[in-house]
Amino acid sequence: MTDWLDKIKWTEEGLLPAIAQDAQTGDVMMMAWMSAESLALTVETGFAVYWSRSRQALWKKGESSGNLQKIHSMHLDCDGDALLLKIDQIGGIACHTGRRSCFYRILEDDQWIAKSDILKDPSEMYKK
Amino acid sequence: MTDWLDKIKWTEEGLLPAIAQDAQTGDVMMMAWMSAESLALTVETGFAVYWSRSRQALWKKGESSGNLQKIHSMHLDCDGDALLLKIDQIGGIACHTGRRSCFYRILEDDQWIAKSDILKDPSEMYKK
């Protein structure tokens, strides 16, 4: 049943980089890490579950903000060491700053310039 | 001049995961790693230069196959630890297997199924 997990080449810490891409628009929303457990939970639940390296804990994306990522399809690369998730981004916001995508800074004239609007105030997103 | 490099949070090995996305179609082509030197070379030359972890060497993407990646724009994420490159994929092929994208295996019924056509025989791509 878990043969598909054995095809994956994990890092030394047992992690796999996972890219979340909006299945409709093609926007790359974020990159995060998955453990075998978080990946299995992702498949089982149909929603993205990552491994938070800072908190060293399972992290169901959107569990605080409500901005869950519904899995559309999962794509493994040729080397088996990177994963692409095509997702439906609930709420339309992936970034904890309230922007749509985490990749909102663009390199221009040797500077990273924030180019995307803040769609929702983070204090609104994370209030209990 | 290199302030923009200082914004990046490198891994312990001094690397940064970089996602290459076709600037026109939105297809995610591959994920690879960059060192500070390879990233600086990418900006300087306008073509993607990665760091090959297996060869422990600079790796100008397409230097053997001709399938260079011309940089369209570069996007840093909120945490400064992942990079998105929007690129023009010369030759239309990013994967060493001769497929368009490296993410050609899709999870279906607990199996990774290769879904993309081989556009060019690898032995053709890499012959000298």
| pLDDT over threshold 60, residue B1 | no
B28–A104 CB contact, under 8 Å: no
Chain B contact set for A44 (CB, 8 A)? none
Find chain A residues with C-beta within 8 A of B17's C-beta.
Answer: 17, 31
Residue of B17, B27, B18 lying closest to B94 (CA atoms):
B27
pTM of the model: 0.96
Q: What are the chain A neighbours of B112 within 8 Å (beta carbons)?
A: 4, 7, 76
CA distance A26 to chain B (A): 5
Domain ranges of chain B: 3-125
pLDDT for res B23: 98
How far apart are alpha carbons B124 and B128 in whole angstroms?
A: 9
Q: CA torsion, points A126, B4, B9, B11, in degrees to nearest 10?
A: 150
Name the band, by pLDDT with cuts 50, 70 and 90, for residue B96: very high
φ/ψ of B92, rounded to 5, equals 75, 5
Strand bridging mode B83-89 / B15-22 = parallel
- Its CATH architecture, for the domain B3-125, is Roll (3.10)
Pick from A77, A119, A125 the residue to mutate for testing the B interface (most B CBs within 10 Å).
A77
Taking only the tens place, the pLDDT of each residue in B58-82 is: 999 999 999 999 999 999 999 999 9
Residue A128: band (very low, low, confident or very high) from pLDDT cuts 50, 70, 90: low
